[in-house]
Structure 1
Amino acid sequence: MSAPLTAADIEIATRAADSFTRIYYTAYDSPTRLSELPKLYRPTSALTWNGTPFQGSGGVVTLVQNMPPTKHEIQSFDCHPIPGTSPPSLLIIVSGSVVHGQGTTSHSKNKEDQPRVFSQTFMLVPDAAAPAPTKAGELAKYYISADALRFVG
């Protein structure tokens, strides 16, 4: 039986989720996303993008290599630490909107340039290969074990 989560566990998990969402969407919207995003996944990671499955860091490259530039706006995220590991795995649910393409104004008639609402769910797993946190309150290193994005609007 695993130990119950403490308030400190939840606070650290929330900080980790906040840090992760900033890193992930900054990398995704970056011109260097083809080199940055795959580092967050492992060969065994599962990715489902609007119903289409991809596998591992190579699947991430396949998905984004022909995608136009993006600009994500995060409205909210929620984090649920999953007991059983120390640090716990994290279930993160993100809601926001994304624009694909160069258009960032609402005046564009091109569908590609219009914001689309999305929901994205991540399962982050502690990275056993990363150095363990050495100080109390220091965030563990995680990788994306599972990632599912769905357009909802």
Structure 2
Amino acid sequence: MATPAPVPLTTADIEIATRAADAFTRIYYAAYDSPSRLAELPKLYRPTSALTWNGTPFQGQDGVVSMVQNMPPTKHDIQSFDCHPIPGTQPPSLLIIVSGSVTHGLGPSGNPAGTSKQNKEGHPRVFSQTFMLVPDAAAPPPIDNR
């Protein structure tokens, strides 16, 4: 028996995916940079979510807490994101690639006195992060605003 071909994406699917990626990116990094990130960031992950940071794997909401609890404060400056809707589900899964710069700590002025200007701590660094957002089958259906 042949596997059915995936349903092609429509222009509306792509527009909705782009708006969703934009909203997700704003919400995610606002939560990440928030003083309450230990409470806020895990809400954006499921118990089955997996992530890898600097080669270290983390699982679920507890893994997110474990990853960020010992990190200094952050400030992300998003320069761009790409969104790729993946056909096969309705709504489609989204592959989102975000790039920009991130400052850990209080910036260069937060470094101890006498710290070399060559020291990278506290200075913005380029980053790239990739997300795969998958529809939640347990989520309530969308509200029809017609």
Q: SS where residue 117 of structure 1 aligns?
A: strand
Residue equivalent to 2:128: 119
Which one scores higher on RCO, CA 8 angstroms, separation ≥ 6? 1
Aligned residues of 2:78 and 2:100 also touching (Cα < 8 A): yes
AA aligned opposite 1:112: E
Tell me the C-alpha RMSD between the 2 structures: 1.9
Runs (5+) with no aligned partner, structure 2: none
Residues 1:134 and 2:138 aligned together = no
AA aligned opposite 1:128: A
For residues 143 and 129 of structure 2, the distance between their equivalents in structure 1, rounded to whole angstroms, comes to 31
Which runs of structure 1 show a deviation greater than 3 angstroms over 4 or more consecutive aligned residues?
107-110
Residue equivalent to 1:77: 81
Quick check: 71-80 or 37-46, which moved more? 37-46
Residue equivalent to 1:91: 95
Aligned residues of 2:108 and 2:121 also touching (Cα < 8 A): no
TM-score by length of 1: 0.83
For residues 34 and 52 of structure 1, the distance between their equivalents in structure 2, rounded to whole angstroms, comes to 19
AA aligned opposite 2:141: A
Taking every aligned residue pair, what percent have the same amino acid on both sides?
A: 80
- Which protein shows a greater Rg? 2
1:134 CA drift (Å)? 2.0
For residues 136 and 51 of structure 1, the distance between their equivalents in structure 2, rounded to whole angstroms, comes to 44
- Higher normalized strand content (fraction of residues): 1
